[in-house]
Amino acid sequence: MDTRTNSAIEFVQWPVNSQFESSFLDKKVLAIQTTRISPKLTSSEIDENKAYQNFNLGLHVGDCAKQVEYNRQLLQKSFPSKTSIQWLEQVHGNSVVEISRVTKKVIVADAMVTREKNIALAIMTADCLPILLVSNKGDEIGAIHGGWRPLVANIIAKTVNKMHINGEQIYAWLGPCIGKEVFEVGKEVQMAFVEQNGVFSQAFCKQKNGKYLANLHKIATIQLNLVGITKINVLPECTYSKSEKYYSYRKASVTGRMATIISLL
């Protein structure tokens, strides 16, 4: 069964300038974004009121472990047989690890980089922002869990610092996350960013209740620009507003997780 043809799994589109660049990266890198839709279901069969039904990939959210492992096995079929997926225990921190081989031991971190082929780096989300990085030569990759806490702790800069290239040589992709129209945060969150750099004020919109609407895509784009990354592609979909397609923790605290995965071929 080739899950790559199913709407449960979508290919990442890199911010390339020419067809040559696009075909070059497609031969070097495989990157995908999952939805909550199971490869065995159609969107019309989804019941978004059921927390874990469909394609949950998180073992830590209370779902049946056998079902999650089955879903992960389906996901594995999207990659070449020699490729293994590396999962993390994400803690909303800013630890970045370099992966030289896949292990089943628990790795506590919120970002990964590798220069090895056949290692798929997986980030799980359900409103947070998944961020993928790839070198312009297609020989180095990174994956970042971009919740507001990792972002304010400069996880993007820490990840780029782990790579062997500079920002000008990196393409970035920003996946679906909770949207700027619904992601309400307190003033302390807004200030945590603005105190670092006033440019972040443009990523927040003050509300009548004194709180702010935060734009994770904008925050990440600013941070990417600050480390020299300007080639950025964004999938501007809101996980909260499109809960028939994506899991949303803000909308339903008991829910599954999607995965964003990248590997060198």
Superfamily name and number for 3-177+234-264: CNF1/YfiH-like putative cysteine hydrolases (3.60.140.10)
- Name the maximum alpha-carbon separation found in the chain: 54
| Predicted pLDDT at 46 | 52
Among residues 100, 171, 175, 99, the alpha carbon closest in space to that of 138 is found at 171
State whether residue 146 is helix, strand or coil.
strand
Query: CA-CA distance, 8 to 140, in Å (whole number)?
Result: 26
Round the average pLDDT of the chain to a whole number and report it.
92
Residue 42 banded pLDDT, cuts 50, 70, 90: low
The 3-class SS string of 18-86 reads CHHHHHHHHHHEEEEEECCCCCCCCHHHCCCCCCCCCCCCCCCCCCCHHHHHHHHHHHHCCCCCCCEEE
| Predicted pLDDT at 3 | 37
Assessment of whether the complete model's pTM goes beyond 0.85: yes
What are the structure tokens assigned to 191, written together? 């200030």
Residue 47 in this model has a pLDDT that exceeds 80 = no
Of 116 and 46, more confident: 116
What are the structure tokens assigned to 84, written together? 């293994």
The CA angle 96-59-257, to the nearest 5 degrees, is 75
185 sits in which H/E element: strand 184-185
Identify the sign of the CA torsion 263, 237, 145, 67: negative
Among residues 246, 250, 218, the alpha carbon closest in space to that of 234 is found at 218
State whether residue 111 is helix, strand or coil.
strand
Can you tell me the mean pLDDT for 190-210? 98
Q: What percent of the chain has pLDDT over 90?
A: 82
